Amino acid sequence: MKRYIKAAKTIEDYKNMGVFDKWQMKEIRDGLEDGLDVSVYADPKYDKDQMYEIRRGLEEGVDVSWYADPEYDNLQMWQIHQILKSGYGKEQMKKIREILKEKTPQPQRNGQRNRRAYAKTIEDYVIHGLPDSTGNEFDVVKYVEIVNDNPAYWELSGSDFHDKAFELFEKDMEHKFPGDEINDDVEAKFYDDISDYGYYDEDYDEEY
């Protein structure tokens, strides 16, 4: 399969493989139209959200080899992307990647995903607690940790911290549930949940 993927040159080549869904195909098509080397991410081991983050990195001239790894979810990829743009050196990047890999969720057991209903809307995912298409359930801690772990956000505090986490959440929902919108109940649920965790202030080494 890898040999055939590397040999693919056109959108029809990728379509004829029959291993990509329509959203993955969209990322491949967009990359081809922009003249990118889509072979970097045109692989069924990446979901559509991961493909998007790798494609965006290629568009911006970022060294995507730092995060083009299916062990990272799309937000972890986004985080590494942002840190790379901040100009961090290789040794710092290696440490950051190690930290992120330690926080990568464990894969679902074989067959586990088929035994449950999956969220079709953002409300299903956040309010009703249904897992997304990869089997992961909504947890605001994911977004809290991303903000805490990114040096670019260490100056944030209070409502600014919460708003940055919500911005990441919006980005995540845009790719998990294309075409759906975050309603007032979902937004209220997010802010209610995040208020339970406060924010981390490194200067005082405590949580508020």
Assign 200 a pLDDT band (cuts: 50, 70, 90). very low
Q: Write down the domain spans for the chain.
A: 1-104, 113-208
Per residue in 42-88, pLDDT (tens digit) is 999 999 889 999 999 999 998 999 999 998 888 888 888 888 887 77
Reduced to 3 states (helix: H, G, I; strand: E, B; else coil), residue 207 is: strand
Q: Quote the longest CA-to-CA distance of the chain.
A: 57
Euclidean distance between CA atoms 179 and 174, whole angstroms: 7
Nearest one of 76, 45, 43 to 57, comparing CA atoms: 76
* pLDDT score recorded for residue 206: 42
| DSSP per-residue string spanning 151-164 | GGGTT--HHHHHHH
Assign 112 a pLDDT band (cuts: 50, 70, 90). very low
Nearest one of 126, 115, 106, 118 to 169, comparing CA atoms: 126
* pLDDT score recorded for residue 203: 42
Whether the pTM exceeds 0.85: the reply is no
Assign 116 a pLDDT band (cuts: 50, 70, 90). very low
Assign 5 a pLDDT band (cuts: 50, 70, 90). low
pLDDT for 183 beyond 90: yes
Euclidean distance between CA atoms 105 and 179, whole angstroms: 26
Contact of 166 with 186, CB cutoff 8 Å: no
| Backbone angles phi and psi of 207, in degrees to 5 | -105, 140
* pLDDT score recorded for residue 102: 65
Query: Tokens 């290789």, residue?
Result: 90
Assign 28 a pLDDT band (cuts: 50, 70, 90). very high
- Mean residue pLDDT of the chain comes to 80
Nearest one of 140, 124, 139 to 177, comparing CA atoms: 124
pLDDT for 195 beyond 50: yes
Assign 175 a pLDDT band (cuts: 50, 70, 90). confident
* pLDDT score recorded for residue 59: 93
